[in-house]
Structures are given as C-alpha cells and as structure tokens.
Amino acid sequence: MQIQINESQIELVRGDITQQETDAIVNAANESLLGGGGVDGAIHRAAGPELLAECRTLGGCATGDAKITRGYRLKARHVIHTVGPIYRDGKHNEPQLLASAYRRSLELARENNLASIAFPAISTGIYGYPRTEAAHIALRTIVEFLKTHAAPKLVRMVLFDAETLNVHERVLQEFAGRAEQESNSAPET
Ligand code: AR6
C-alpha cells in the first residue's frame, strides 16, 4: 500500500528491513547502541562488525533520539539508530517518546540529504508496545512530518509479519480517508 503526501510517498510492505535498498534503514536499538536481539541483532549481523565498531564511538543514544552511521555490508548506505520506549502502561510518556524516535530519524535523514528511509515497527517487539497504538503514532508522525517537510521523498515501513502489515494498512487507510475529506472540504480558490 502506498499514499502520497505532498511530493513524498509513504509505503507499507511486508519484509525484512536488512534487505532494503533505501538510502537509510532505521534500527530499533537500545540506549547502549551496542547491539541486541530482534531487528537490532539482524541489522548488526547483516552489516558486519564494522557497524558495532562505529556504534562504540557514539556514546549511546537517549530514548526518543537517533544517531546515524554508515551501512557497511548492507544495501542501505546508512543506518539510523533510534531508541523507542519500553512500554509500561502508556502513562509514562511512551507515546511522546515513540513519536520522537520517528521524528528524530526523519530529521536526521533530511539533514543528511537522504531521499529514502525504511522503518521497522519501533518498540513493538521486545519493548512490548501494543501494535495498533504504535501504528497510529508511527504513521501520524510520518504524515505530519511530510506535510511540513519536502524530504525524504520515500518513507517505507517494513513490517515483519502479515498481521502487523494489516494493522498498519488499516491505520494508514484511516489517515488517507481523512486527508481526502480535508482536501474535498477545502474552500475553492
Ligand atoms: N525486519 C523488519 N522487522 C523486524 C525484523 C526484520 N529483520 N526483525 C524483527 N522485526 P524489536 P523493539 C520486527 O524487538 O521492540 C533489541 O534487543 C518485530 O517483529 O526488534 O524496539 C534492541 O537492542 C517487531 O515488530 O525492537 C532493544 O534492546 C519490530 O521489528 C530492543 O530489542 C521491533 O521489534 C528493542 O525492542
């Protein structure tokens, strides 16, 4: 599924983020930036040990922030490492921190003149964020960013399993319907 926001595309696909050929892929890392399980482990395995060596120089990353490295053996030239919140009950700033992880990643892509970026569903694995709530926050943050910035031109979410893809498709359809209503009701000039 794909929708357009101004000059940019948001795309949802099922797949493995380590295989993406976008300018950057986003890693759902932890504050140490020294590797872990899930998507983090898969990215480090695919990129090779040079990625960990560069990560060691970064001094970690706060939750909600992001840092950029090279992609080494990946098809993507860059990895943007971000840290989503560990989900507790939704009342410990988790929505703000998750939105910030997406926004900071998009800002870094823009600052580095990257045209395309691929995200996993940050925090929805080991960090336990409920999938549907996380999809709303992720897609709302991406849509808002692309409404006010001309780049990146392609933002792809790479979902690992069919059910997570379905959830994101349903949420993006809601947003797309709303955007259409807004443009239909806009006063003619
Ligand atoms: N491609 C795309 N998505 C994937 C892949 C893949 N290769 N592998 C897993 N996913 P998680 P988190 C999905 O647990 O919740 C690490 O140890 C997965 O199904 O990777 O942010 C870090 O070091 C899920 O939907 O990240 C941290 O300590 C999503 O990616 C911690 O886990 C995120 O799951 C971060 O936990």
**CATH code (residue 18):** 3.40.220.10
Element (H, E) at 56: helix 49-56
**What is the pTM (predicted TM-score) of this model?**
0.96
Rounded CA gap, 20 and 156, in Å?
Answer: 9
**Is there a contact between 142 and 12 (Cβ–Cβ < 8 Å)?**
no
Task: Scan for tokens 């098809």, then name that residue.
Answer: 75
123 within ligand 1 shell (Cβ under 6 A)? yes
Whether 23 sits among the annotated catalytic residues: the reply is no
**Which atom of ligand 1 approaches the CA of 18 most closely?**
7
Q: Where are the beta strands (DSSP E) in the chain?
A: 2-5, 8-14, 24-28, 66-70, 78-82, 116-119, 154-159
Distance 27 CA to ligand 1 centre (A): 8
Cα pseudo-dihedral 81, 82, 87, 91, rounded to 10: 170
Give the chain's domain count: 1
The whole domain housing 77 covers 2-185
Task: Scan for tokens 């979410």, then name that residue.
Answer: 157
Q: pLDDT per position in the chain (189 positions), as tens?
A: 999 999 999 999 999 999 999 999 999 999 999 999 999 999 999 999 999 999 999 999 999 999 999 999 999 999 999 999 999 999 999 999 999 999 999 999 999 999 999 999 999 999 999 999 999 999 999 999 999 999 999 999 999 999 999 999 999 999 887 766 776 666 655
Q: Which residues does 25 contact at the CB level (< 8 Å), separation at least 6? A: 17, 18, 43, 71, 74, 76, 78, 79, 80, 117, 118, 158
